[in-house]
Amino acid sequence: MLGDLPTAGICDCHVHVAGPIERYPQIASRSYIAELATLETLREIAEPLGVSRFAIVQPSFYGTDNSCLLEALDTLGGRGRGVAAVDADAASAGLLREYARRGVRGLRLNLYSAVGGYSPQHLDKVLEKTARILPDASWHVEIIAPLNRLTAAAATIARAEAKIVIDHYGLPGRSPESSEGRSLLDLAALPHVWIKLSAPYRIADDPAATKPPADWLRALVRAAPERCIWGSDWPHTPERKDRRGANEKAPYRKIDYARALKDFCGALAEPNLAARILSVNPRRLFGFSAD
């Protein structure tokens, strides 16, 4: 356990799992072969630190085959939630009900990865289509997209009736004081928009950064203290320079999990924010029990 964090109920709200490729095939259009990243390994690293709940997010290299994610949720039971990827034109109500039974609570739109399945120019349309198929109000739509794409679709996000979760600080390439930065903060202030404070290395010059971007952390927590959540991004997606094609393995970033959690908590201005962001807010978003 680290410092004065909650003794139970900490949720890592953004992790991925990857199984043996012979059992869980990766899509042909992937940009690298993802190496093994098991739930067992994650729990060995995270649980001694007090992290007992996990939101597993479908990685791009599995496309819409959520088998690995669902099996991990079966193992976690009530301590796991999932964010799946589906074809909104083909996913049946029965399929989504089955996903819900096994712990899925969100659908992911990946407009960042080249193999995410969506054109960045079409965020408005795909968001509206995906929001329409959510089984009920407990579900959300999760978006990973560069800041300029998010702000271009700001009107659609603002009028969405579903909960919207924005990944990785909104992948801002600019400061909170920029016009696009202010647009993101305006979105974050809306009562149905949530922000994942995750993967600082995705927006830092240092590809192994574990400290949050101070200006964005401060601004986003101020805008949405009740709707900010933390995620490690384990097993820490390979750098783009290491992705050499569909037939080549790429190493995950060498990020120390404990250091990432400690640095995040150390960057918070108020001690009570840690309990809120790590435990209380995820419980509300994902519907975890209060124990």
Structure confidence by residue, pLDDT tens digits, 228-263: 999 999 999 999 898 888 889 999 999 999 999 999
- Cα separations in angstroms, 84 against 19, 56, 96, 134, 275: 16, 8, 10, 11, 27
In a domain, 242, yes or no: yes
Domain that holds residue 197: 11-285
Q: What is the DSSP letter of 277?
A: I
Average pLDDT, the chain: 93
Q: Residue 195 in contact with residue 169, Cβ under 8 Å?
A: yes
Is the pLDDT reported for residue 122 higher than 90? no
In a domain, 132, yes or no: yes
Count how many domains the chain has.
1
pLDDT at 216: 97
Is the pLDDT reported for residue 225 higher than 90? yes
Please calculate the CA angle 71-167-269 and round it to the nearest 5 degrees: 115
Is the pLDDT reported for residue 115 higher than 60? no
Mean pLDDT in residue range 132-136: 96
Distance (Å, rounded) from C-alpha 288 to C-alpha 11? 10
Mean pLDDT in residue range 111-123: 63
Rounded to the nearest angstrom, the gap between the alpha carbon of residue 127 and the centroid of all alpha carbons in its chain is 16
Q: In residues, how long is the chain?
A: 291
Is the pLDDT reported for residue 116 higher than 50? no
More confident residue, 270 or 86: 86
pLDDT at 245: 87
More confident residue, 290 or 52: 52
Is the pLDDT reported for residue 64 higher than 80? yes
DSSP per-residue letters across 165-194:
EE-GGG--SS-TTSHHHHHHHHHHTSTTEE
Is the pLDDT reported for residue 4 higher than 80? no
**pLDDT tier, 41 (very low <50, low <70, confident <90, very high otherwise):** very high
Q: What is the DSSP letter of 32?
A: S
Q: Residue 56 in contact with residue 233, Cβ under 8 Å?
A: no
pLDDT at 204: 93
Is the pLDDT reported for residue 123 higher than 60? yes
Strand, helix or coil at 142? strand
pLDDT at 119: 53
In a domain, 4, yes or no: no
62-101: b (≥16 Cβ within 10 Å) or e: bbebbebbbbbbeebeebbbbbbbbebeebeeeebeebbe
CATH number at residue 74: 3.20.20.140
pLDDT at 132: 95
Q: What is the DSSP letter of 36?
A: P
pLDDT at 282: 97
Distance (Å, rounded) from C-alpha 11 to C-alpha 245? 33
Is the pLDDT reported for residue 114 higher than 70? no
* Span of 1-15, 28-42, 63-77, 136-150 with lowest mean pLDDT: 1-15
**Following CA atoms 222, 208, 37, 229 in sequence, which dihedral angle do they give, to the nearest 10 degrees?**
0
pLDDT at 271: 78
In a domain, 29, yes or no: yes
% residues pLDDT > 90 (the chain): 84
Mean pLDDT in residue range 206-225: 96
In a domain, 159, yes or no: yes
Name the amino acid, one letter, at 40.
Answer: E
In a domain, 2, yes or no: no
In a domain, 6, yes or no: no
In a domain, 187, yes or no: yes
pLDDT at 173: 83
Instruction: Assign 3-class secondary structure to 57-121.
Output: ECCHHHCCCCHHHHHHHHHHHHHEEEEECCCCCCCCHHHHHHHHHCCEEEEEEECCCCCCCCCHH
